[in-house]
């Protein structure tokens, strides 16, 4: 029996098990056949585990999301280690666009890796430390790596966003009111790692919360 002759529901289940390699299998499925492409477009099973490497690809991923009705991303890595963005807000605008586009209830793992100058890491709107570290609620999120406070003037800031399922958090800056922020946004956090740069290297301080 040819794989393409199987029921769509069974194919989606098979694709779901296969698409766990940060997008490589999903890309391959999209060019295998029109039938497989249609399944991906209708279910977004190819986007459940995605790694977007390079800020120049963030807009392309946003365009891909805009073509989908279902945007069920469960694991997302957004990484850009370059310094070519003249204004750091450009990259944050793209990240916000992506995070607002995906289904919030499905995201379980979010890793954001950026080469951000130290003087940008602790900036908050109006220097108000009560704003959320992650100003979007993701009820299923369990693992978060975020170098600093997420903020862009084009998107609303809030202090009420909560990710109640979060267990592991890794950050690269220590904001004012860290304890209050953790209690407010991530009430069930058990593991906290703070990366503190010590030139010319970066040392990692693990802090376990119980």
Are the C-beta atoms of residues 88 and 121 closer than 8 Å to each other?
Answer: no
pLDDT bin (cut points 50, 70, 90) of residue 139 is very high
pLDDT at 106: 94
Looking at every residue in the chain, the average pLDDT score rounds to 80
- When pLDDT is averaged across residues 57-80 and rounded to a whole number, the result is 91
Strands laid side by side in the 75-80 sheet: 49-53, 75-80, 109-114, 143-145, 168-171, 191-198, 201-208
When pLDDT is averaged across residues 92-104 and rounded to a whole number, the result is 91
For 121-141, what is the mean pLDDT? 70
Residue 112 has pLDDT above 90, yes or no: yes
Model confidence, pTM: 0.82
The rounded distance, in Å, linking the Cα atoms of 33 and 56 is 28
The angle that helices 8-18 and 34-43 make with each other, rounded to 10 degrees, is 80
pLDDT band at 8 (very low <50, low <70, confident <90, very high): confident
CA 143 to chain centre: 10
| Residues 153, 155, 156: CA angle, nearest 5 degrees | 100
Report the alpha-carbon distance of residue 97 to residue 184 in Å, rounded. 24
Highest mean pLDDT among 79-93, 98-112, 144-158: 98-112
Angle at 75 between CA 107 and CA 188, to 5 degrees: 55
Say what the pLDDT of residue 126 is: 42
Residues of the chain with pLDDT > 70, as a percent, come to 77
Average pLDDT over residues 21-44: 82
Share of the chain above pLDDT 90, in %: 28
* pLDDT-derived band at 54, boundaries 50, 70, 90: confident
pLDDT higher than 60, residue 127:
no
């Amino acid at each position: 029996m040819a794989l393409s002759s199987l029921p769509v529901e069974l194919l989606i289940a098979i694709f779901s098990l296969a698409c766990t390699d940060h997008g490589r299998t999903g890309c391959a499925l999209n060019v295998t056949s029109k039938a497989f492409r249609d399944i991906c477009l209708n279910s977004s099973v190819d986007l459940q585990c995605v790694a977007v490497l390079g800020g120049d690809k963030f807009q392309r991923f946003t365009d891909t999301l805009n073509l989908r009705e279902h945007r069920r991303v469960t694991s997302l890595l957004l990484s850009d280690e370059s310094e070519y963005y003249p204004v750091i807000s450009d990259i944050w605008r793209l990240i916000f666009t992506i995070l607002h586009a995906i289904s919030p209830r499905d995201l379980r793992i979010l890793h954001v890796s950026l080469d951000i100058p130290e003087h940008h890491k602790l900036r908050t709107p109006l220097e108000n430390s009560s704003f959320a570290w992650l100003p979007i609620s993701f009820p299923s999120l369990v693992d978060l790596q975020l170098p600093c406070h997420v903020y862009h003037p084009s998107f609303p800031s809030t202090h009420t966003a909560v990710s109640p399922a979060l267990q592991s958090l890794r950050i690269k800056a220590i904001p004012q009111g860290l304890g209050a922020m953790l209690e407010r946004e991530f009430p069930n956090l058990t593991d906290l790692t703070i990366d503190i740069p010590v030139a010319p290297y970066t040392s990692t301080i693990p802090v376990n919360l119980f």
